[in-house]
Chains A and B, each alone.
Chain A
Protein backbone atom coordinates (compact mmCIF):
# COMPACT_ATOMS: atom_id res chain seq x y z
CA UNK A 1 0.00 0.00 0.00
CA UNK A 2 2.83 2.38 0.88
CA UNK A 3 4.85 1.62 -2.21
CA UNK A 4 2.18 2.78 -4.61
CA UNK A 5 1.99 6.49 -3.80
CA UNK A 6 5.75 6.62 -3.76
CA UNK A 7 5.89 4.99 -7.18
CA UNK A 8 3.28 7.45 -8.42
CA UNK A 9 5.32 10.31 -7.01
CA UNK A 10 8.38 9.05 -8.82
CA UNK A 11 6.44 8.75 -12.04
CA UNK A 12 5.21 12.33 -11.68
CA UNK A 13 8.69 13.56 -10.99
CA UNK A 14 10.06 11.73 -13.98
CA UNK A 15 7.37 13.13 -16.21
CA UNK A 16 8.19 16.59 -14.99
CA UNK A 17 11.90 16.02 -15.64
CA UNK A 18 11.12 14.74 -19.09
CA UNK A 19 9.03 17.86 -19.77
CA UNK A 20 11.92 20.09 -18.70
CA UNK A 21 14.36 18.09 -20.83
CA UNK A 22 12.13 18.58 -23.83
CA UNK A 23 11.75 22.27 -23.11
CA UNK A 24 15.54 22.58 -22.91
CA UNK A 25 15.75 20.80 -26.25
CA UNK A 26 13.25 23.28 -27.67
CA UNK A 27 15.35 26.20 -26.39
CA UNK A 28 18.51 24.81 -27.95
CA UNK A 29 16.81 24.19 -31.29
CA UNK A 30 15.23 27.65 -31.50
CA UNK A 31 18.39 29.40 -30.31
CA UNK A 32 20.42 27.52 -32.92
CA UNK A 33 18.01 28.63 -35.65
CA UNK A 34 18.38 32.21 -34.46
CA UNK A 35 22.17 31.97 -34.60
CA UNK A 36 22.15 30.60 -38.13
CA UNK A 37 19.53 33.05 -39.33
CA UNK A 38 21.18 36.13 -37.88
CA UNK A 39 24.69 35.30 -39.04
CA UNK A 40 23.30 35.65 -42.55
CA UNK A 41 22.25 39.25 -41.97
CA UNK A 42 25.63 40.59 -40.98
CA UNK A 43 25.28 43.90 -42.80
CA UNK A 44 21.86 44.56 -41.31
CA UNK A 45 22.99 43.58 -37.81
CA UNK A 46 26.07 45.78 -38.08
CA UNK A 47 24.19 48.78 -39.40
CA UNK A 48 21.70 48.39 -36.58
CA UNK A 49 24.54 48.27 -34.09
CA UNK A 50 26.23 51.34 -35.55
CA UNK A 51 23.01 53.31 -35.29
CA UNK A 52 22.72 52.14 -31.72
CA UNK A 53 26.22 52.93 -30.48
CA UNK A 54 25.93 56.54 -31.60
CA UNK A 55 23.66 57.05 -28.60
CA UNK A 56 26.19 56.13 -25.86
CA UNK A 57 29.03 57.84 -27.72
CA UNK A 58 27.08 61.09 -27.67
CA UNK A 59 26.36 60.78 -23.93
CA UNK A 60 29.97 59.84 -23.30
CA UNK A 61 31.33 62.82 -25.19
CA UNK A 62 28.92 65.25 -23.55
CA UNK A 63 29.56 64.05 -20.01
CA UNK A 64 33.30 63.79 -20.53
CA UNK A 65 33.26 67.40 -21.71
CA UNK A 66 31.38 68.36 -18.56
CA UNK A 67 33.82 66.38 -16.40
CA UNK A 68 36.83 68.08 -17.96
CA UNK A 69 35.33 71.53 -17.55
CA UNK A 70 34.70 70.75 -13.88
CA UNK A 71 38.34 69.98 -13.20
CA UNK A 72 38.44 66.32 -14.19
CA UNK A 73 35.32 64.69 -12.81
CA UNK A 74 31.57 65.14 -12.58
CA UNK A 75 29.63 63.58 -9.71
CA UNK A 76 32.67 61.37 -9.02
CA UNK A 77 32.99 60.15 -12.60
CA UNK A 78 36.19 60.81 -14.52
CA UNK A 79 36.15 60.65 -18.34
CA UNK A 80 37.86 57.24 -18.13
CA UNK A 81 35.16 55.93 -15.79
CA UNK A 82 32.47 57.36 -18.01
CA UNK A 83 34.13 55.62 -20.96
CA UNK A 84 34.02 52.32 -19.06
CA UNK A 85 30.36 52.91 -18.21
CA UNK A 86 29.25 53.67 -21.76
CA UNK A 87 31.35 50.96 -23.42
CA UNK A 88 29.84 48.32 -21.12
CA UNK A 89 26.53 50.05 -21.90
CA UNK A 90 26.86 48.97 -25.54
CA UNK A 91 27.10 45.31 -24.55
CA UNK A 92 24.27 45.52 -22.02
CA UNK A 93 22.07 47.28 -24.55
CA UNK A 94 22.77 44.61 -27.13
CA UNK A 95 21.85 41.88 -24.68
CA UNK A 96 18.70 43.52 -23.31
CA UNK A 97 17.07 43.91 -26.73
CA UNK A 98 14.03 41.65 -26.75
CA UNK A 99 10.88 41.24 -28.83
CA UNK A 100 9.48 44.72 -29.22
CA UNK A 101 5.95 45.42 -27.94
CA UNK A 102 5.33 47.20 -31.26
CA UNK A 103 5.69 43.76 -32.87
CA UNK A 104 2.51 42.51 -31.22
CA UNK A 105 0.22 44.46 -33.48
CA UNK A 106 1.81 42.72 -36.46
CA UNK A 107 1.64 39.35 -34.72
CA UNK A 108 -2.07 39.75 -34.14
CA UNK A 109 -2.94 41.39 -37.44
CA UNK A 110 -1.07 38.83 -39.51
CA UNK A 111 -2.30 35.94 -37.43
CA UNK A 112 1.18 34.60 -36.65
CA UNK A 113 0.10 34.28 -33.05
CA UNK A 114 -2.41 31.63 -34.09
CA UNK A 115 0.42 29.41 -35.23
CA UNK A 116 2.26 29.96 -31.97
CA UNK A 117 -0.85 29.03 -30.00
CA UNK A 118 -1.03 25.67 -31.73
CA UNK A 119 2.35 24.65 -30.35
CA UNK A 120 2.42 22.70 -27.12
CA UNK A 121 4.68 25.26 -25.41
CA UNK A 122 3.83 28.73 -24.16
CA UNK A 123 4.78 31.29 -26.88
CA UNK A 124 7.05 33.19 -24.51
CA UNK A 125 9.50 30.31 -24.60
CA UNK A 126 9.92 30.86 -28.31
CA UNK A 127 10.76 34.56 -27.87
CA UNK A 128 13.08 33.89 -24.94
CA UNK A 129 14.95 31.21 -26.86
CA UNK A 130 15.13 33.06 -30.16
CA UNK A 131 16.39 36.33 -28.75
CA UNK A 132 18.83 34.52 -26.46
CA UNK A 133 20.25 32.72 -29.48
CA UNK A 134 20.50 35.99 -31.41
CA UNK A 135 22.85 37.27 -28.71
CA UNK A 136 25.65 35.00 -29.90
CA UNK A 137 26.11 36.65 -33.34
CA UNK A 138 25.46 40.03 -31.74
CA UNK A 139 28.20 39.59 -29.13
CA UNK A 140 30.64 38.23 -31.72
CA UNK A 141 30.02 41.27 -33.90
CA UNK A 142 30.17 43.59 -30.89
CA UNK A 143 33.73 42.53 -29.93
CA UNK A 144 35.59 44.50 -32.65
CA UNK A 145 33.45 47.55 -31.89
CA UNK A 146 34.39 47.29 -28.22
CA UNK A 147 38.07 47.18 -29.16
CA UNK A 148 37.75 50.29 -31.36
CA UNK A 149 35.80 52.15 -28.67
CA UNK A 150 38.38 51.21 -26.04
CA UNK A 151 41.22 52.56 -28.16
CA UNK A 152 39.30 55.74 -28.84
CA UNK A 153 38.10 56.51 -25.32
CA UNK A 154 40.54 54.78 -22.90
CA UNK A 155 38.14 53.30 -20.33
CA UNK A 156 39.25 52.69 -16.76
CA UNK A 157 38.09 49.17 -16.07
CA UNK A 158 39.40 46.44 -13.80
CA UNK A 159 37.81 43.06 -14.37
CA UNK A 160 38.08 40.47 -11.62
CA UNK A 161 36.69 36.93 -11.93
CA UNK A 162 34.02 37.75 -9.32
CA UNK A 163 32.95 40.85 -11.24
CA UNK A 164 32.87 38.96 -14.51
CA UNK A 165 30.70 36.26 -12.97
CA UNK A 166 28.32 38.79 -11.46
CA UNK A 167 28.18 40.63 -14.77
CA UNK A 168 27.34 37.45 -16.65
CA UNK A 169 24.43 36.78 -14.29
CA UNK A 170 23.34 40.41 -14.29
CA UNK A 171 23.06 40.76 -18.06
CA UNK A 172 20.90 37.65 -18.23
CA UNK A 173 18.85 39.01 -15.35
CA UNK A 174 18.41 42.19 -17.35
CA UNK A 175 17.42 40.13 -20.38
CA UNK A 176 14.77 38.24 -18.44
CA UNK A 177 13.30 41.27 -16.70
CA UNK A 178 13.10 43.23 -19.92
CA UNK A 179 11.64 40.25 -21.80
CA UNK A 180 8.85 39.92 -19.24
CA UNK A 181 7.95 43.59 -19.08
CA UNK A 182 8.08 44.04 -22.85
CA UNK A 183 5.76 41.05 -23.17
CA UNK A 184 3.29 42.53 -20.72
CA UNK A 185 3.37 45.81 -22.64
CA UNK A 186 2.95 43.98 -25.92
CA UNK A 187 -0.06 42.06 -24.63
CA UNK A 188 -1.95 45.33 -24.14
CA UNK A 189 -2.54 44.98 -27.87
CA UNK A 190 -5.10 42.26 -27.04
CA UNK A 191 -7.36 45.00 -25.67
CA UNK A 192 -6.56 47.99 -27.86
CA UNK A 193 -4.46 48.74 -30.90
CA UNK A 194 -3.87 52.34 -29.87
CA UNK A 195 -0.83 51.43 -27.90
CA UNK A 196 2.01 53.56 -29.21
CA UNK A 197 1.38 56.44 -26.79
CA UNK A 198 1.61 54.00 -23.86
CA UNK A 199 4.78 52.42 -25.22
CA UNK A 200 6.44 55.73 -25.92
CA UNK A 201 5.72 56.95 -22.39
CA UNK A 202 7.14 53.73 -20.98
CA UNK A 203 10.28 53.98 -23.10
CA UNK A 204 10.81 57.62 -22.15
CA UNK A 205 10.63 56.76 -18.46
CA UNK A 206 12.99 53.87 -19.05
CA UNK A 207 15.42 56.11 -20.90
CA UNK A 208 15.54 58.62 -18.06
CA UNK A 209 15.34 56.37 -15.00
CA UNK A 210 17.39 53.31 -15.98
CA UNK A 211 20.90 54.67 -16.21
CA UNK A 212 20.68 54.50 -19.97
CA UNK A 213 20.94 58.20 -20.71
CA UNK A 214 23.26 58.96 -17.82
CA UNK A 215 24.64 57.00 -14.84
CA UNK A 216 22.06 57.29 -12.07
CA UNK A 217 24.79 58.70 -9.84
CA UNK A 218 24.59 61.93 -11.86
CA UNK A 219 20.84 62.24 -11.37
CA UNK A 220 19.33 64.39 -8.61
CA UNK A 221 18.57 62.43 -5.40
CA UNK A 222 14.78 62.43 -5.88
CA UNK A 223 15.17 60.82 -9.31
CA UNK A 224 17.48 58.19 -7.85
CA UNK A 225 14.91 57.39 -5.17
CA UNK A 226 12.20 57.11 -7.79
CA UNK A 227 14.40 54.84 -9.92
CA UNK A 228 14.95 52.44 -7.03
CA UNK A 229 11.23 51.61 -6.98
CA UNK A 230 11.09 50.82 -10.69
CA UNK A 231 12.38 47.85 -12.67
CA UNK A 232 14.33 49.94 -15.19
CA UNK A 233 17.65 50.31 -13.47
CA UNK A 234 17.99 46.54 -13.11
CA UNK A 235 18.05 46.26 -16.88
CA UNK A 236 20.61 49.01 -17.57
CA UNK A 237 22.40 50.73 -14.71
CA UNK A 238 22.94 47.75 -12.43
CA UNK A 239 24.39 45.31 -14.99
CA UNK A 240 26.62 48.08 -16.38
CA UNK A 241 27.92 48.92 -12.92
CA UNK A 242 28.65 45.32 -11.99
CA UNK A 243 31.45 45.48 -14.54
CA UNK A 244 32.26 49.16 -14.99
CA UNK A 245 32.13 50.34 -11.38
CA UNK A 246 33.47 48.86 -8.15
CA UNK A 247 30.44 47.52 -6.36
CA UNK A 248 31.09 45.63 -3.12
CA UNK A 249 30.19 41.96 -2.71
CA UNK A 250 27.10 42.81 -0.65
CA UNK A 251 25.90 45.28 -3.27
CA UNK A 252 26.41 42.73 -6.04
CA UNK A 253 24.43 40.08 -4.15
CA UNK A 254 21.55 42.39 -3.23
CA UNK A 255 21.48 43.59 -6.81
CA UNK A 256 21.27 40.10 -8.22
CA UNK A 257 18.61 39.33 -5.61
CA UNK A 258 16.61 42.35 -6.70
CA UNK A 259 16.89 41.18 -10.28
CA UNK A 260 15.57 37.77 -9.27
CA UNK A 261 12.61 39.43 -7.53
CA UNK A 262 11.81 41.62 -10.52
CA UNK A 263 12.06 38.61 -12.81
CA UNK A 264 9.62 36.72 -10.60
CA UNK A 265 7.27 39.70 -10.59
CA UNK A 266 7.53 39.89 -14.36
CA UNK A 267 6.81 36.18 -14.79
CA UNK A 268 3.75 36.47 -12.55
CA UNK A 269 2.51 39.51 -14.50
CA UNK A 270 3.01 37.75 -17.82
CA UNK A 271 1.12 34.71 -16.57
CA UNK A 272 -1.86 36.74 -15.36
CA UNK A 273 -2.09 39.12 -18.30
CA UNK A 274 -1.67 36.29 -20.77
CA UNK A 275 -4.51 34.31 -19.19
CA UNK A 276 -6.98 37.13 -19.59
CA UNK A 277 -5.54 38.57 -22.77
CA UNK A 278 -5.46 35.45 -24.87
CA UNK A 279 -9.21 35.01 -24.31
CA UNK A 280 -9.73 38.26 -26.14
CA UNK A 281 -7.62 37.14 -29.05
CA UNK A 282 -9.38 36.70 -32.35
CA UNK A 283 -7.03 35.87 -35.19
CA UNK A 284 -7.23 38.35 -38.01
CA UNK A 285 -4.80 36.94 -40.54
CA UNK A 286 -5.14 33.99 -42.84
Chain B
Protein backbone atom coordinates (compact mmCIF):
# COMPACT_ATOMS: atom_id res chain seq x y z
CA UNK B 1 0.00 0.00 0.00
CA UNK B 2 2.76 2.39 0.92
CA UNK B 3 4.41 1.58 -2.40
CA UNK B 4 1.30 2.58 -4.29
CA UNK B 5 1.09 5.77 -2.28
CA UNK B 6 4.73 6.50 -3.00
CA UNK B 7 4.10 5.96 -6.70
CA UNK B 8 1.21 8.40 -6.64
CA UNK B 9 3.22 11.07 -4.83
CA UNK B 10 6.03 10.59 -7.32
CA UNK B 11 3.67 10.86 -10.28
CA UNK B 12 2.13 13.99 -8.84
CA UNK B 13 5.50 15.68 -8.40
CA UNK B 14 6.67 14.82 -11.90
CA UNK B 15 3.42 15.92 -13.53
CA UNK B 16 3.36 19.16 -11.54
CA UNK B 17 6.83 20.14 -12.69
CA UNK B 18 5.99 19.36 -16.29
CA UNK B 19 2.72 21.30 -16.07
CA UNK B 20 4.46 24.35 -14.60
CA UNK B 21 6.94 24.19 -17.43
CA UNK B 22 4.19 24.11 -20.05
CA UNK B 23 2.18 26.87 -18.43
CA UNK B 24 4.85 29.36 -19.42
CA UNK B 25 3.82 29.13 -23.05
CA UNK B 26 0.45 30.76 -22.87
CA UNK B 27 -0.05 31.45 -26.58
CA UNK B 28 -0.23 27.70 -27.09
CA UNK B 29 -3.56 27.77 -25.31
CA UNK B 30 -5.11 29.80 -28.13
CA UNK B 31 -3.56 27.54 -30.73
CA UNK B 32 -5.08 24.53 -29.06
CA UNK B 33 -8.40 26.30 -28.71
CA UNK B 34 -8.49 27.20 -32.42
CA UNK B 35 -7.58 23.66 -33.38
CA UNK B 36 -10.13 22.19 -31.02
CA UNK B 37 -12.93 24.44 -32.25
CA UNK B 38 -12.15 23.74 -35.91
CA UNK B 39 -12.21 20.00 -35.24
CA UNK B 40 -15.46 20.40 -33.34
CA UNK B 41 -16.98 22.40 -36.19
CA UNK B 42 -15.99 19.73 -38.69
CA UNK B 43 -17.43 17.00 -36.51
CA UNK B 44 -20.71 18.84 -36.04
CA UNK B 45 -20.94 19.58 -39.77
CA UNK B 46 -20.50 15.91 -40.64
CA UNK B 47 -23.03 14.86 -38.03
CA UNK B 48 -25.53 17.38 -39.39
CA UNK B 49 -24.82 16.20 -42.93
CA UNK B 50 -25.37 12.56 -42.04
CA UNK B 51 -28.63 13.37 -40.27
CA UNK B 52 -29.84 15.50 -43.15
CA UNK B 53 -30.00 12.23 -45.09
CA UNK B 54 -31.22 9.85 -42.38
CA UNK B 55 -32.93 9.80 -39.00
CA UNK B 56 -30.74 7.23 -37.30
CA UNK B 57 -27.39 5.56 -37.86
CA UNK B 58 -27.23 1.86 -37.00
CA UNK B 59 -29.78 2.45 -34.23
CA UNK B 60 -28.14 5.59 -32.82
CA UNK B 61 -29.99 8.90 -32.75
CA UNK B 62 -28.29 12.22 -33.43
CA UNK B 63 -28.13 13.13 -29.72
CA UNK B 64 -26.64 9.74 -28.88
CA UNK B 65 -23.99 10.14 -31.55
CA UNK B 66 -23.26 13.60 -30.17
CA UNK B 67 -22.54 11.88 -26.85
CA UNK B 68 -20.12 9.51 -28.63
CA UNK B 69 -18.45 12.54 -30.19
CA UNK B 70 -18.16 14.23 -26.80
CA UNK B 71 -16.51 11.18 -25.27
CA UNK B 72 -14.24 10.86 -28.30
CA UNK B 73 -13.01 14.45 -27.95
CA UNK B 74 -12.70 14.14 -24.17
CA UNK B 75 -10.71 10.90 -24.22
CA UNK B 76 -8.62 12.16 -27.13
CA UNK B 77 -7.80 15.20 -25.01
CA UNK B 78 -6.63 13.03 -22.12
CA UNK B 79 -4.49 10.99 -24.50
CA UNK B 80 -2.84 14.05 -25.99
CA UNK B 81 -2.39 15.75 -22.62
CA UNK B 82 -1.00 12.95 -20.53
CA UNK B 83 -0.27 9.82 -22.55
CA UNK B 84 1.04 10.68 -26.00
CA UNK B 85 3.72 13.19 -24.88
CA UNK B 86 5.20 10.63 -22.48
CA UNK B 87 5.25 7.94 -25.11
CA UNK B 88 6.90 10.19 -27.68
CA UNK B 89 9.55 11.08 -25.15
CA UNK B 90 10.12 7.41 -24.47
CA UNK B 91 10.63 6.71 -28.18
CA UNK B 92 13.02 9.64 -28.44
CA UNK B 93 14.98 8.56 -25.36
CA UNK B 94 15.36 5.00 -26.58
CA UNK B 95 16.69 6.30 -29.89
CA UNK B 96 19.13 8.70 -28.27
CA UNK B 97 20.10 6.33 -25.47
CA UNK B 98 18.94 8.84 -22.86
CA UNK B 99 16.73 6.27 -21.20
CA UNK B 100 19.81 5.28 -19.20
CA UNK B 101 19.35 8.22 -16.88
CA UNK B 102 15.84 7.18 -16.13
CA UNK B 103 16.55 3.50 -15.64
CA UNK B 104 19.23 4.20 -13.06
CA UNK B 105 16.65 5.82 -10.81
CA UNK B 106 15.48 3.63 -7.92
CA UNK B 107 11.85 3.47 -9.01
CA UNK B 108 9.85 1.40 -11.46
CA UNK B 109 10.81 2.27 -15.03
CA UNK B 110 7.34 1.93 -16.48
CA UNK B 111 5.97 4.33 -13.90
CA UNK B 112 8.69 6.87 -14.55
CA UNK B 113 8.34 6.87 -18.35
CA UNK B 114 4.60 7.35 -17.97
CA UNK B 115 4.52 10.47 -15.78
CA UNK B 116 7.24 12.72 -17.13
CA UNK B 117 5.25 14.93 -19.43
CA UNK B 118 1.95 16.76 -19.15
CA UNK B 119 0.94 18.99 -22.06
CA UNK B 120 -1.59 21.02 -20.10
CA UNK B 121 -2.83 23.12 -22.98
CA UNK B 122 -3.95 20.07 -24.92
CA UNK B 123 -6.50 19.53 -22.19
CA UNK B 124 -8.64 22.18 -23.91
CA UNK B 125 -10.03 19.15 -25.74
CA UNK B 126 -11.12 17.63 -22.43
CA UNK B 127 -13.10 20.77 -21.71
CA UNK B 128 -14.63 20.93 -25.19
CA UNK B 129 -15.45 17.22 -25.03
CA UNK B 130 -17.11 17.60 -21.65
CA UNK B 131 -19.23 20.49 -22.92
CA UNK B 132 -20.31 18.53 -26.02
CA UNK B 133 -21.14 15.57 -23.81
CA UNK B 134 -23.17 17.80 -21.48
CA UNK B 135 -25.15 19.23 -24.39
CA UNK B 136 -25.74 15.73 -25.72
CA UNK B 137 -27.09 14.55 -22.38
CA UNK B 138 -29.47 17.50 -22.23
CA UNK B 139 -30.64 16.83 -25.77
CA UNK B 140 -31.26 13.17 -25.03
CA UNK B 141 -34.17 14.37 -22.90
CA UNK B 142 -33.87 11.40 -20.64
CA UNK B 143 -33.38 11.51 -16.93
CA UNK B 144 -29.73 10.76 -16.20
CA UNK B 145 -29.92 8.10 -13.50
CA UNK B 146 -27.38 7.40 -10.80
CA UNK B 147 -26.62 4.08 -12.43
CA UNK B 148 -25.72 5.73 -15.74
CA UNK B 149 -23.54 8.33 -14.06
CA UNK B 150 -21.73 5.67 -12.05
CA UNK B 151 -21.33 3.46 -15.11
CA UNK B 152 -19.83 6.37 -17.01
CA UNK B 153 -17.56 7.25 -14.09
CA UNK B 154 -16.26 3.68 -14.13
CA UNK B 155 -16.05 3.28 -17.91
CA UNK B 156 -14.15 6.49 -18.64
CA UNK B 157 -11.01 5.70 -16.55
CA UNK B 158 -11.07 2.17 -17.95
CA UNK B 159 -11.11 3.63 -21.44
CA UNK B 160 -8.17 5.89 -20.68
CA UNK B 161 -6.33 2.95 -19.13
CA UNK B 162 -6.69 0.73 -22.20
CA UNK B 163 -5.51 3.53 -24.47
CA UNK B 164 -2.51 4.07 -22.18
CA UNK B 165 -1.69 0.36 -22.47
CA UNK B 166 -2.16 0.44 -26.22
CA UNK B 167 0.11 3.48 -26.60
CA UNK B 168 2.77 1.99 -24.34
CA UNK B 169 2.80 -1.23 -26.37
CA UNK B 170 3.24 0.86 -29.54
CA UNK B 171 5.98 2.97 -28.01
CA UNK B 172 7.77 -0.08 -26.66
CA UNK B 173 8.22 -0.96 -30.32
CA UNK B 174 11.02 1.61 -30.22
CA UNK B 175 13.20 -1.02 -28.56
CA UNK B 176 12.98 -3.03 -31.79
CA UNK B 177 12.35 -0.45 -34.52
CA UNK B 178 14.31 2.75 -34.20
CA UNK B 179 12.46 5.02 -36.57
CA UNK B 180 9.02 5.30 -35.00
CA UNK B 181 8.04 8.95 -35.55
CA UNK B 182 5.22 7.86 -37.82
CA UNK B 183 3.44 6.31 -34.87
CA UNK B 184 1.56 9.53 -34.01
CA UNK B 185 0.12 9.76 -37.50
CA UNK B 186 -0.86 6.12 -37.27
CA UNK B 187 -2.53 6.52 -33.88
CA UNK B 188 -4.30 9.79 -34.75
CA UNK B 189 -5.50 8.30 -38.02
CA UNK B 190 -6.93 5.18 -36.43
CA UNK B 191 -8.29 7.07 -33.43
CA UNK B 192 -10.63 8.94 -35.80
CA UNK B 193 -12.54 5.70 -36.25
CA UNK B 194 -13.67 6.00 -32.63
CA UNK B 195 -15.82 9.02 -33.47
CA UNK B 196 -18.53 6.56 -34.48
CA UNK B 197 -19.77 3.71 -32.29
CA UNK B 198 -17.94 0.50 -33.17
CA UNK B 199 -21.30 -1.16 -33.83
CA UNK B 200 -21.46 0.79 -37.09
CA UNK B 201 -18.52 -1.13 -38.55
CA UNK B 202 -18.71 -4.51 -40.29
CA UNK B 203 -17.76 -7.46 -38.09
CA UNK B 204 -14.07 -7.71 -39.00
CA UNK B 205 -13.42 -4.03 -38.39
CA UNK B 206 -15.52 -4.11 -35.24
CA UNK B 207 -13.26 -6.81 -33.80
CA UNK B 208 -10.16 -4.84 -34.83
CA UNK B 209 -11.49 -1.64 -33.24
CA UNK B 210 -12.46 -3.45 -30.04
CA UNK B 211 -9.56 -5.77 -29.32
CA UNK B 212 -6.61 -4.82 -31.49
CA UNK B 213 -7.10 -1.06 -31.24
CA UNK B 214 -9.37 -0.76 -28.20
CA UNK B 215 -11.49 2.17 -29.43
CA UNK B 216 -14.68 0.34 -28.59
CA UNK B 217 -13.67 0.03 -24.95
CA UNK B 218 -12.20 3.53 -24.79
CA UNK B 219 -14.95 5.54 -26.47
CA UNK B 220 -18.05 3.52 -27.31
CA UNK B 221 -18.46 1.86 -23.90
CA UNK B 222 -18.33 5.10 -21.85
CA UNK B 223 -20.73 6.70 -24.34
CA UNK B 224 -23.07 3.72 -24.09
CA UNK B 225 -22.86 3.95 -20.31
CA UNK B 226 -23.98 7.56 -20.18
CA UNK B 227 -26.65 7.11 -22.84
CA UNK B 228 -27.98 4.13 -20.92
CA UNK B 229 -27.18 1.43 -23.48
CA UNK B 230 -24.46 -0.36 -21.53
CA UNK B 231 -25.42 -2.79 -18.81
CA UNK B 232 -23.30 -4.15 -15.98
CA UNK B 233 -22.14 -7.01 -18.19
CA UNK B 234 -20.58 -4.70 -20.76
CA UNK B 235 -18.75 -2.83 -18.02
CA UNK B 236 -17.50 -6.05 -16.44
CA UNK B 237 -16.25 -7.28 -19.81
CA UNK B 238 -14.50 -3.98 -20.35
CA UNK B 239 -12.88 -4.22 -16.93
CA UNK B 240 -11.74 -7.78 -17.62
CA UNK B 241 -10.30 -6.77 -20.96
CA UNK B 242 -8.48 -3.86 -19.33
CA UNK B 243 -6.96 -6.17 -16.70
CA UNK B 244 -5.68 -8.55 -19.37
CA UNK B 245 -4.30 -5.66 -21.39
CA UNK B 246 -2.48 -4.24 -18.35
CA UNK B 247 -0.79 -7.61 -17.83
CA UNK B 248 0.17 -7.89 -21.51
CA UNK B 249 1.54 -4.38 -21.51
CA UNK B 250 3.67 -5.08 -18.45
CA UNK B 251 5.06 -8.17 -20.19
CA UNK B 252 5.76 -6.29 -23.44
CA UNK B 253 7.48 -3.50 -21.49
CA UNK B 254 9.77 -6.00 -19.70
CA UNK B 255 10.61 -7.74 -22.98
CA UNK B 256 11.39 -4.43 -24.61
CA UNK B 257 13.58 -3.29 -21.77
CA UNK B 258 15.66 -6.42 -22.13
CA UNK B 259 16.39 -5.39 -25.72
CA UNK B 260 17.56 -1.96 -24.69
CA UNK B 261 21.28 -1.62 -25.17
CA UNK B 262 21.88 1.83 -23.77
CA UNK B 263 23.65 4.99 -24.75
CA UNK B 264 26.45 3.52 -26.78
CA UNK B 265 25.06 5.24 -29.87
Closest to B57 in A: A65
In the complex, the answer to whether B49 meets A51 with C-beta atoms within 8 Å is no
| Chain B facing A: main interface SS | helix
Asked if B8 is at the interface (CB within 8 A of a chain A CB), the reply is no
B186 touching A214 by the CB < 8 A rule? no
Separation of A53 and B31 alpha carbons in the complex (Å): 27
Proximity bits, B176-204, A CB within 8 Å = 1, else 0: 01010111011111101101100011101
Most buried by B among A65, A194, A204: A65
Main SS at interface, chain A: helix
Query: What is the distance, in angstroms, from A83's C-beta to the closest C-beta of chain B?
Result: 12
Question: Which A37-81 residues sit within 8 Å CB-CB of chain B?
Answer: 41, 43-44, 47-48, 50-55, 57-58, 61-63, 65-66, 69-70, 74-75
Determine the distance from Cα of A142 to Cα of B204 in the docked complex, in whole angstroms. 21
Q: Work out how many contacts link A and B, with CB atoms closer than 8 A.
A: 93
Interface size on A, residues (CB 8 A): 36
Partner of B193, one of A57, A201, A213: A57
Q: Does B35 contact A (CB under 8 A)?
A: yes
- Picked from A44, A66, A152, A208, the residue with its CB within 8 Å of the CB of B45 is A208
Q: Is B17 an interface residue (CB 8 A)?
A: no
Contact A58 B186 (CB under 8 A): no
User: Cβ of A201: which chain B residues have Cβ within 8 Å of it?
Assistant: 34, 38
Please pick, from B38, B177, B185, B188, the residue contacting A204 in the complex, using a CB distance under 8 A: B38
- Ranked 6 nearest A-B pairs via Cβ: A51-B189, A51-B186, A204-B38, A47-B182, A44-B182, A51-B185
Q: A62-B57, A200-B34, A200-B35 are in contact. List 16 more A-B contacts (CB 8 A).
A: A43-B177, A47-B183, A47-B186, A50-B189, A51-B188, A51-B189, A52-B189, A53-B189, A54-B190, A63-B50, A66-B53, A69-B54, A70-B53, A70-B54, A75-B53, A197-B30
Enumerate 18 A-B pairs (CB-CB under 8 Å) in ascending A order: A43-B179, A50-B189, A51-B187, A51-B190, A53-B189, A54-B190, A54-B193, A57-B205, A58-B192, A61-B205, A65-B200, A66-B53, A66-B54, A197-B30, A197-B34, A201-B34, A201-B38, A208-B45
Report which A residues bind B (CB closer than 8 A): 41, 43-44, 47-48, 50-55, 57-58, 61-63, 65-66, 69-70, 74-75, 152, 194, 196-197, 200-201, 204, 207-208, 213-214, 218-220
